[in-house]
Structure 1
């Protein structure tokens, strides 16, 4: 199939484009940076330099490629260091998730592209009820104020892509880790800058970067429209996974802070995720996409990542 991949030089795109090419697909891949064109060509794609917020340019590029599938992976997270002010950190990405999504959907309509696969996140789930969520569970109606615009942008993709594209799919990735995807996480653990806050009772779901790319490839080829959790098999509380990551990284055990002290230091969003976060189930993706993670647990995935 002809596949148009946006954000193709990002952490996930760097694995997805070669995977699509190896599977026999004809790939057109975008970047905002002319200096990255050669990298895309080496990965087997036809490169296009385009800004996802330039509506006319996006429509022209998609119409020229005439893709059967569009994959939306546009983000702007290279400088992410702290999450004390989430909406400031994600401001550019939020634009890509709203205006950028609208531009791609308009382009898909003009090009006759039925299938659109977009990046979502499992942070949308309500921080109440059971510890492990399925796709039909309620989403968060009371986001932390410092993250309200970011959560709204994720919800926008969640809602708009399946409603607008004839075959719209949103992949709710868990916390992505692996080379190039979360180097700040290991760096923070080694510097003891990432403490367990408030008992670490929040549940997290992870997904290794190549597993996320494999799920995206599966969604290009099959699966009914809708949303899918793309996570491993092992949701776990912060108090379990964070000390384990420190151990395999050769770091000292993480510090422990009460929630009241964590708020001014790390921000309300981080405290909420560490104390109230909810994991999610991948059963729907396994069944309908015919996908399963190579790293069934973050335990083995963390070991391979840090030692690699």
Structure 2
């Protein structure tokens, strides 16, 4: 098939593009930076510079490629800093998730591309009820105020892609880790800048970046329209995974911090994720996409990540 991939040099795209080419698809891959075109061409893709917020540019690039499938992986996550002021840090990504999504859906309609696969996130589930959520569970009705716009943008992708494409699939990724993803995460753990806040009762679901790419490849080729949790098999509370990551990274155990001090130093969003977050179940993606993660547990994945980071 002819596949148009945006965000092709990001954490997921860098593995998705060669995977699509290897699977026999004709791939047009986009980047915002001209110096990254060569790398995309070397793996067998047609490479173009496109700004996802430039509607005319997006329409022109999609018309030239005439894709059957469009994959929306556009973010600006590599440009983020600290998450005390989430909406400020996510502003560029939120624009890509709203205006950028509209531009891609308009282009898909223009060329008759039936399938659109988009990047979502599982942070949007309600922080009540059981610790692990399925795709049918309710979303958070009251996001943390400092992250309200960012969460609204994620929900916009969820709703708009399903409504705006004949075959709209949204992949609700867990927290990314792995090569070329969240390297600052490991540095923070090693410097003991990531404490366990409160009881560390927030439950996180993770996904290694190559596993995220393999799920996106599966969604290009099969699966009914709808949303899919793309996470590993082992949701875990912060009190479990953070000390484990410190251990495999060769760091001292993380410090402990009361909630009130966490709010003062890190902000409400971080405290909420550390104490109230809910994980996600991947049964639907396994069954309907025929997808199996290479790292079913973050335990094995973290070890591989740390070792690759040190090489």
Shorter-chain TM-score category? Answer: over 0.9
Cα distance per residue 1:184-219 (max 9 Å; x no partner): 110100010000001100000000110000000000
Secondary structure of the residue that 2:157 maps to in structure 1? helix
The aligned runs of 1:1-308 (5 Å cut-off) are: 1-308=1-308
How far off is 1:268 after superposition?
Answer: 0.4
Range moving further from structure 2, 178-187 or 113-122:
178-187
**Aligned pair count?**
308
In structure 2, distance between residues paired with 1:120 and 1:79: 18
Q: Report if aligned partners of 1:5, 1:29 keep a CA contact under 8 Å in 2.
A: yes
Which structure 2 residue ranges, 5 or more long, are not aligned? none
C-alpha distance in structure 1 between counterparts of 2:264 and 2:253, whole Å: 22
SS in 1 for 2:57: helix
- Contact kept? 1:81, 1:184, Cα under 8 Å: no
Could you say what the CA RMSD is over the residues aligned between the two structures, in angstroms? Answer: 0.5
Instruction: Output the TM-score relative to the length of structure 2.
Output: 0.98
CA distance in 2, matches of 1:287, 1:188: 36
Structure 2 Cα separation of the partners of residues 157 and 194 of structure 1: 30
Q: Structure 1 residue runs of 4+, over 3 Å off?
A: none
1:79 deviates by 2.5
Give me the TM-score of the superposition, normalised by structure 1: 0.99
Question: Partners in 2 of 1:232 and 1:77 — Cα distance?
Answer: 21
Q: Which runs of 5+ in 1 are unaligned?
A: none
The separation in 2 between residues aligned to 1:105 and 1:219, in whole angstroms, is: 17
